Amino acid sequence: MRLFILTLLLFTAGFLSVNAQDVSFTARAQSAVVVGDKFQLQYTLNKEGSDIRLPALQDFQILMGPSTSYSNSTSIVNGKVTRETSYTYTFILKALKEGQFTIPPATVKVEDEKVSSNSISIKVVKGEAQAQQQNQQSQAAGSAPSDDDLFITVTPSKRNVYQGESLVLTTKIYTKVQLDGLSDIKQPELSAFITQTLKSQDGISWTMENVNGRTYNVGTYEQKLLFPQKSGKLTIEPTEIEFLVRQRVARSRSRSIFDDFFESNYRTVKKKVRSKAITLNVKPLPSGRPEGYAGGVGQLTMKASVNKSEVSVNDGVTLKVVVSGTGNHKFIEEPQIKFPADFDDFDAKISNSISNTASGMKGSKTYEYLMIPRHAGEFTIPSIKFAYFNPKSGKYQTSESGPISINVAKGEGTEETTSGVIRSNVSKENVKFIGKDIRFIKTGKALLKPTGTFFIGSLMYYLTLLVPLSLFILLFIINQKRIKENSNVTLMKTKKANKVAIKRLKKSAQFLKSGEKEAFYEEVLRALWGYLSDKLSLPLSELSKDNAGEILTKSNASEEVINEIMEILDTCEFARYAPASGTGEMDKLYNQTIATISKLENQIKR
Position 160 scores a pLDDT of: 93
H helical segments located in 236-309: 257-262
Q: Say which DSSP state 229 is in.
A: -
pLDDT at 548 over 80: no
Average pLDDT over residues 266-287: 90
Nearest residue to 355 (alpha-carbon basis) of 458, 225, 189: 225
pTM of the model: 0.52
Largest distance between two CA atoms of the chain: 139
130-181 pLDDT, tens per residue? 445 445 444 444 566 788 888 999 999 999 999 999 999 999 999 988 888 8
pLDDT at 281 exceeding the cut of 90: yes
- What are the structural domains, with CATH classification, of the chain? 2-124 (2.60.40.10), 129-283 (2.60.40), 293-409 (2.60.40.1510), 491-603 (1.20.120.330)
Q: Is 187 helix (H, G, I), strand (E, B) or coil?
A: coil
The residue type found at 196 is Q
* pLDDT band of 450, cuts 50, 70, 90: low
Helices then strands, each counted (H, E), the chain: 10, 33
- Mean pLDDT across the chain: 78
Q: Given this model, what pLDDT does residue 305 score?
A: 92
φ, ψ at 536 (rounded to 5°)? -95, 0
pLDDT tens readout for residues 244-274 = 888 877 655 555 555 554 445 778 888 899 9
The 8-class DSSP code of residue 403 comes to -
Q: Sorting pLDDT into bands at 50, 70 and 90, what band is 424? A: very low
Model confidence at 509: pLDDT above 70: yes
pLDDT band at 408 (very low <50, low <70, confident <90, very high): very high
CA distance 198 to 321: 27
Question: Which of residues 325 and 529 earns the better pLDDT score?
Answer: 325
Q: Give the mean pLDDT of 485-512.
A: 65
Task: Tell me the pairing of strands 60-77 and 80-95.
Answer: antiparallel
**Least confident window among 141-150, 188-197, 445-454, 500-509:** 445-454
Query: How far is 323 from 401, CA to CA, in rounded Å?
Result: 11
Residue 396: per-residue pLDDT: 92
How far is Cα 598 from Cα 606, in angstroms, rounded to an integer? 14
Residue 144 DSSP code: P
Kindly state the average pLDDT of the residues 75-104: 79
> Which of 100-114, 182-196, 290-304, 568-582 shows the lowest mean pLDDT across its residues?
568-582
* CA–centroid distance for 265 within its chain: 47
Confirm if 333 and 534 have CB atoms less than 8 A apart: no
Amino acid of residue 553:
T
Average pLDDT of 20-42?
78
Res 433 pLDDT > 50: no
Q: Which residues contact 42 (CB under 8 A, 6 or more apart)?
A: 27, 28, 29, 88, 89, 90, 91
Can you give the C-alpha Rg of the chain in angstroms?
A: 37
CA-closest candidate to residue 375, choices 318, 329, 334, 314: 314
Q: How far is Cα 576 from Cα 346, in angstroms, rounded to an integer?
A: 34
C-beta of residue 242 within 8 angstroms of C-beta of residue 209: no
Contacts of 9 (CB under 8 A, 6+ apart): none
Distance of CA 364 to the CA centre of its chain: 11
Q: Is the Cα dihedral 223, 394, 331, 529 positive or negative? A: positive
Res 303 pLDDT > 90: yes
Q: Is 459 or 242 the better-scoring residue by pLDDT?
A: 242
Task: Classify residue 342 as left (phi > 0), alpha (psi -120 to 50) or beta.
Answer: alpha
Please report, rounded to a whole number, the percentage of residues in the chain having pLDDT higher than 70. Answer: 78
Residue 509: count of CB within 10 angstroms of its CB: 16
Task: Output phi, psi for 523, to 5 deg.
Answer: -70, -40
β-pair partners for 169: 156, 224
pLDDT confidence tier of residue 435, bands split at 50, 70 and 90: very low
